[in-house]
Structure 1
Amino acid sequence: MASRFRGLKRPGLKWPALRVEQVPSAFSGAVGANRWSNKDLDPIRREERKWSVWALIAYWFSDAFNAATWEFAASILAIGLSYKDAIGIVATGFLIVSVVISLNGAVGVLYHAPFPVLARAGWGFWGSYVAIISRVILAMFWFAIQTVNGGDTVFVMITAIWSSFARVHNGIPANEGITTAQMVSFFLFWLAQIPFLYMHPNNLRYLFITKSILVPICFLAILIWSFRSTGGTGGPLLASSSKASIGGSAYSYAWLSSLTSVIGNYATLSVNMPDFSRYSKASVKWQWLYVPMLPIVFTFIAFIGIAATSAGQQHYGVLDWNPANLISNWPNRSCKFFAGFAFSLAALGVNISANSLSAANDLAALAPSYINIRRGQLICALIAWVMVPWKILATAAGFLNFMSAYSVFLGPIAAILVWDFWWVHDMKYDVVALYHPEGIYRYRYGINWRAIAAFLVGVAPNLPGFINSINPAINPGVGIRPYTFAWILGFTITSLIYVVLSAIWKPTETMIPRAILPDEVYEGEGGEIVTIEGKAFGDDVEREGSGEREWKKEDGELRVL
């Protein structure tokens, strides 16, 4: 008796005009109507992979040269550590996170699928929503907040041309946390992002290449100014004692806490690297370039931030880590404008790479029939207004602490992604089954309980400190100490629990003798490769399994003979 391919037949659609493009394939189904995919979520075809090694390097240079990296040392020095401690902490933090970025980025290069799809292998189809929703919340909030920061740099550019702009009449109530001039700057920066949000990710490489050329010139010029204008000393921060003002256990906890803060700033990218590496036409080995490159580049930029802030303190008498405030003090209007433009470009690139594109992939995974990457990025931009981020920055320090502390969830998520691919499944995924919920990654009720259990155990030790960071009035006592190294602790515990659970209760139904890669699927489309009950088929015969079963299509539906 004939059996039908599960998932190919779909009911009628109420709003066909709102649906996004779905191309019939092994991933979206023979009729191109899969609840779990659309054209943007399908693996990238060979001819559509445009990112070279140099484009990936430019991407990371683009990401590194921004105000956040500049300000890394601010909180480190504020708690009593020295600038040499700050340099060592930044280098160590990026050495750790670069390994995770490389490991997860390699999966994207091999399978050319985004994070939300790859997460299904370890979490299950419905279980992956835990990871997806965790990331999309963080990405959308940070997009809004970084748009405010970008608006600050636009404000500097405008005042460099029109100095009286800062004195424009303010018709916005003071409790809103923003002036009319700042609102105009916010809107202009928000508007400047729209064309890039509308752009296909393949074309974004040109933005990152441009930024990786222009912004470093500005940063190097500021570094030269920092030393030349201070007689080669670099100012009071660099001239002061290189020893920390605290010692003993307080020093150790301060060091670990600062390390966690540095890693937390790039915890999102340790998870979402497949969203970019999937467009790579370079081999997997180039992902390991990040391990030496990221610590060197980010540490150098953090040093520029220390030197420039130190010089600013000597010249203007104020220790201010905000680069927009520093360059606003410069008397040369041309230098002020160019520096403001460079930091605006830096903010724009980071906001897309770390926030909007991540949110778009997640939103597309949640509603693939109606949201693609382009729509997802535009939705993220619109939500930025709803969140009134200028008010958050002005009045809700506890909320910002919450957003920073939110990385405690990303450490466990990154751990499951790493260990599921490299150890549990021995680098063998069935890329077709990642798009069909009735395939080998269905687990029970669409949830891999091992991943959920490991995630909860990994997060639990950090919850007392997490709560305290949001509301300091709640004192958990010694329970706050694990939070000092939250990302590392969460990653380590989750790794251990997930590996042990997967070793004792092996997910044997997800194990395959060899990897099913997208290239062989696309190359076999002459035989219309599809998936039946989680197994890859092509050329009219089954690829894996004990027996061969022939199939044919009748009236747009697949039938097994």
Structure 2
Amino acid sequence: MTESSSPAPDPSPTGSYAPDLYNADLAPVPPERRDWSWVNMATVWMGMVHNIVAYEAASGLMALGFSAWQCLEIVAVAYLILFLAMWFNARAGTRYGIPFCVLIRSAFGPFGAQLPVVLRGFCAIFWFSVQSYAAAQAVDAIFSTLNAGWASLQAPFLGMQLRMWLAMAAIWALHGWIASHGVHRIRNFELVAGPLVILVGLLATMWGLHVGHGLGPLFAQPSHLHGAEFWSRFAMGVTGMIGMWATFAVNIPDLSRFVRSERDQVVGQAIGLPVTALVFTPMGIITTSATVILFGHPIWNPVELLVALGHPVVTVLGGATLVLATLSVNVVANIMPAAYDLVNLMPRRLDFNRASRLVLVLGVFFMPWLWFNEAASIYRALDLIGGLLGPVTGIMLADFYVVRRQVLDVPDLYRHQGRYAGRKGWGLPGLGAFAAGGLVASAGHILPGLAGLNAVAWFVGVAVGAGAYLALARRQPVPADDTAEALSRA
């Protein structure tokens, strides 16, 4: 089937569409409205890859004993794997114009799909909250530089000082303003934000090269890992890097549904994901190398670096860049998927704008200022949830490419009766495979003797989820989508 002939139902609801499975935001994007080019896809990824967590990721790898060059090797391998996973998982979104929360009904059934949707939504809202708090710290640094009286706003409330509450309010308001303009305006924002953050990163890199008279001491640091220990930690590093984006590998159809062609989504993701990551990572290492020369120790937190430099103009411009970088990743990687997930839960009550505002409210209730003090336990919990989403990726790939043979009867995805209904709305092969994959991928967190699985948890989850789904689908046959029938019903 060629892309131009891909089936897409009339976006207007019909009497046969279940009202709890359909609204305008969940409907397939018609071909004439799929207007994102490869440039849009690339700039969206540029804006997402450049965030504070990704900037600091190299420090975690070097803390494990890797050299700077080995860090780049890990980043290259991890992002190449991510690119391949997202390339294949994005195809259904590009072909049919449907979001993740609708596509997943094919394997899990309309009711069973809510389980992976809720898990993905939880991760998205949590990461929105954490990233926003990091940006609020940058706002605090800016206001402290511009107004000496800002630091006096220290009245505590619910474990946080008044000035940080005000900084958070500013960040939340900026997120709300951007998200309220809809998906296509978000695309235009990323068209500016992604390249601008790259430009500022290049300026910081030039500064680092000047201070370090070259790549700097961190690039001269040798590797402390050899033999089996090296390969074990290499696998752990790759899995950790993938873990930052494993949730987005699941809901990449939320973006690819707006792309005009398969070629555009592939080229855009190739430029925006692995290529940009390989450019951005050495930027962070070079800039941090300069801090070793200036301060005698590495400063990986960019907000701390701005404060340590003590130049008002640098603090204000650098802080504004960090805020822009956070907005660019949060709006697309966290608010958008979480909003779609909430709309999927309550399509009769929520549209995209209302759901995005609800994400902002729920993000406050996650109280990120308290989570920062318990980082170790929180990241373990997120690793566990991320491991559970690995099997979802495997199930989606197995279902679309092997069971469905890349053909979907799209209208049936919005009905309780039909080929995707499963058993009373529950897709037992998908649910069984999810349970099996999640159990195996998470076993290392439960049984100390299997702790080695944690280094490859995402890979194990994908493999077990896909294998179990195919096995269960054969034992309890999943109705295949006949091409001719699907075309005639679309």
Query: Which TM-score bucket, shorter chain as reference?
Result: over 0.9
Partner of 1:401: 380
- Could you list the runs of 5+ residues in structure 2 that have no partner in the other structure? 1-8
The answer on whether the counterparts of 1:27 and 1:435 sit within 8 Å (CA) in structure 2 is: no
Q: C-alpha deviations, 1:72-102, integer Å up to 9, x for none?
A: 2111111212212211111100100111111
Partner of 1:90: 75
SS of the counterpart of 2:110?
coil
The alignment status of 1:254 with 2:233, answered yes or no, reads yes
The answer on whether the counterparts of 2:110 and 2:416 sit within 8 Å (CA) in structure 1 is: yes
Task: Give distance in 2, aligned partners of 1:63 and 1:417.
Answer: 23
Deviation at 1:27, TM superposition (A): 6.2
Q: Could you tell me which amino acid in structure 2 is paired with residue 496 of structure 1?
A: G
Q: Could you tell me which amino acid in structure 2 is paired with residue 67 of structure 1?
A: I
Partner of 2:358: 379
Task: Give distance in 1, aligned partners of 2:354 and 2:196.
Answer: 29
Task: Give distance in 2, aligned partners of 1:186 and 1:68.
Answer: 18
Q: C-alpha deviations, 1:409-441, integer Å up to 9, x for none?
A: 111111111121112111100111111111211
The answer on whether the counterparts of 2:205 and 2:286 sit within 8 Å (CA) in structure 1 is: yes
Task: Give distance in 2, aligned partners of 1:478 and 1:452.
Answer: 27
SS of the counterpart of 2:347?
coil
Q: Could you tell me which amino acid in structure 2 is paired with residue 262 of structure 1?
A: M
Q: Find 1:466's aligned residue among 441, 445, 448.
A: 445
Deviation at 1:536, TM superposition (A): 2.5
Q: Could you tell me which amino acid in structure 1 is paired with residue 264 of structure 2?
A: W
SS of the counterpart of 1:466?
helix
Q: C-alpha deviations, 1:258-287, integer Å up to 9, x for none?
A: 11110010012111111111122x211222
Task: Give distance in 2, aligned partners of 1:45 and 1:233.
Answer: 49
The alignment status of 1:237 with 2:221, answered yes or no, reads no
Further displaced range: 249-258 or 55-64: 249-258
Partner of 1:324: 303
Task: Give distance in 1, aligned partners of 2:484 and 2:74.
Answer: 41
SS of the counterpart of 2:309?
coil
Q: C-alpha deviations, 1:266-322, integer Å up to 9, x for none?
A: 012111111111122x21122222246522211221111111112112212232211
Partner of 1:528: none
SS of the counterpart of 1:397?
helix
Q: Find 1:78's aligned residue among 60, 63, 66.
A: 63
Q: Could you tell me which amino acid in structure 2 is paired with residue 193 of structure 1?
A: H
The alignment status of 1:536 with 2:489, answered yes or no, reads yes
The answer on whether the counterparts of 2:391 and 2:462 sit within 8 Å (CA) in structure 1 is: yes
Return closer, same or farther for 1:220/1:442 CA change in 2, 3 Å cut-off: same
The answer on whether the counterparts of 1:113 and 1:275 sit within 8 Å (CA) in structure 2 is: yes
Partner of 2:199: 217
The alignment status of 1:108 with 2:93, answered yes or no, reads yes
SS of the counterpart of 1:341?
helix
Aligned ranges 1:422-501 → 2 under 5 Å? 422-467=401-446, 476-501=447-472
Aligned ranges 1:258-297 → 2 under 5 Å? 258-280=237-259, 282-289=260-267, 290-291=269-270, 294-297=273-276
Further displaced range: 224-233 or 262-271: 224-233
What is the aligned residue count?
A: 481
Aligned ranges 1:24-35 → 2 under 5 Å? 28-30=13-15, 34-35=19-20
Deviation at 1:499, TM superposition (A): 2.4
The answer on whether the counterparts of 2:69 and 2:219 sit within 8 Å (CA) in structure 1 is: no
Partner of 1:511: 481
Task: Give distance in 1, aligned partners of 2:271 and 2:45.
Answer: 12
Q: C-alpha deviations, 1:159-184, integer Å up to 9, x for none?
A: 3323553x3241116x82x3332222
Task: Give distance in 2, aligned partners of 1:231 and 1:96.
Answer: 34
Return closer, same or farther for 1:33/1:246 CA change in 2, 3 Å cut-off: closer
Aligned ranges 1:304-323 → 2 under 5 Å? 304-323=283-302
Partner of 1:55: 40
Deviation at 1:400, TM superposition (A): 3.1
Return closer, same or farther for 1:239/1:373 CA change in 2, 3 Å cut-off: same
Deviation at 1:396, TM superposition (A): 5.2
SS of the counterpart of 1:246?
coil
Identity among equivalent positions (%) equals 25
Q: C-alpha deviations, 1:41-83, integer Å up to 9, x for none?
A: 1111234333222111111111122222211211111121221
Task: Give distance in 2, aligned partners of 1:73 and 1:355.
Answer: 22
Deviation at 1:380, TM superposition (A): 0.7
SS of the counterpart of 2:489?
strand
Task: Give distance in 2, aligned partners of 1:338 and 1:209.
Answer: 20
Deviation at 1:142, TM superposition (A): 1.3
Further displaced range: 89-98 or 405-414: 405-414
Partner of 1:171: 155
The alignment status of 1:349 with 2:324, answered yes or no, reads no
The answer on whether the counterparts of 1:433 and 1:440 sit within 8 Å (CA) in structure 2 is: yes
Deviation at 1:361, TM superposition (A): 0.5
Q: C-alpha deviations, 1:385-428, integer Å up to 9, x for none?
A: 22211111124531233124421011111111112111211110
SS of the counterpart of 1:30?
coil
Return closer, same or farther for 1:204/1:26 CA change in 2, 3 Å cut-off: closer
The answer on whether the counterparts of 2:438 and 2:461 sit within 8 Å (CA) in structure 1 is: yes
The answer on whether the counterparts of 2:49 and 2:277 sit within 8 Å (CA) in structure 1 is: yes
Q: Could you tell me which amino acid in structure 1 is paired with residue 458 of structure 2?
A: W
Return closer, same or farther for 1:301/1:483 CA change in 2, 3 Å cut-off: same
Task: Give distance in 2, aligned partners of 1:240 and 1:81.
Answer: 9
Q: Could you tell me which amino acid in structure 2 is paired with residue 191 of structure 1?
A: A
SS of the counterpart of 1:432?
helix
Deviation at 1:233, TM superposition (A): 4.0
Task: Give distance in 1, aligned partners of 2:188 and 2:72.
Answer: 31
Q: Could you tell me which amino acid in structure 1 is paired with residue 415 of structure 2?
A: H
RMSD after superposition: 2.1
Return closer, same or farther for 1:189/1:293 CA change in 2, 3 Å cut-off: closer
Aligned ranges 1:138-177 → 2 under 5 Å? 138-163=123-148, 165=150, 167-172=151-156, 176=159
Task: Give distance in 2, aligned partners of 1:45 and 1:460.
Answer: 39
Task: Give distance in 2, aligned partners of 1:317 and 1:172.
Answer: 34
Task: List structure 1 runs of 4+ shifted beyond 4 angstroms.
Answer: 24-27
The alignment status of 1:366 with 2:345, answered yes or no, reads yes
Q: Could you tell me which amino acid in structure 2 is paired with residue 363 of structure 1?
A: L
Return closer, same or farther for 1:355/1:292 CA change in 2, 3 Å cut-off: closer
Q: C-alpha deviations, 1:145-204, integer Å up to 9, x for none?
A: 111011112122223323553x3241116x82x333222212211111111121210111
The answer on whether the counterparts of 1:458 and 1:493 sit within 8 Å (CA) in structure 2 is: yes
Q: Could you tell me which amino acid in structure 2 is paired with residue 500 of structure 1?
A: A
**TM-score, length basis structure 2:** 0.93
Partner of 1:5: none
The answer on whether the counterparts of 1:27 and 1:436 sit within 8 Å (CA) in structure 2 is: no
